[in-house]
Amino acid sequence: MGVAAAVHPAFNRLPDSVKRLMARSCYQVLGQDLRTPSDFVVCWTQDGAESEAERTRETGGTGQAIALASRWNIPVFNLARSDALDRIAKFLSD
């Protein structure tokens, strides 16, 4: 849970069940060994955040995955943004 704690702004105040959810995001983004990162992240959040800097309360738990991706320079495509599908298609074709 060390990676999750390093990324979440209030990790120590979370209930254990939520800490486990935040830790799960680490594996989703960085792989089972935490050393095999995803090529990109596709998500949907109410606020359309695609980086740690854009993370707000409305980003919700998905913000953990977005923050991790930001720190590891993994592209994030948030489907709440109208251009997300076009950018995904371009990313995949490059």
Residue 10 predicted with pLDDT over 90? no
Task: Identify the residue whose tokens are 């989703």.
Answer: 28
Q: Are 2 and 37 in contact (CB under 8 A)?
A: no
In this prediction, residue 12 carries a pLDDT of 85
Name the DSSP class of 15.
-
In this prediction, residue 55 carries a pLDDT of 95
Task: Identify the residue whose tokens are 């948030």.
Answer: 78
pLDDT, tens only, 49-71:
999 999 999 999 899 999 999 99
Q: Are 27 and 65 in contact (CB under 8 A)?
A: no
pLDDT, tens only, 22-33:
888 899 999 999
In this prediction, residue 86 carries a pLDDT of 98
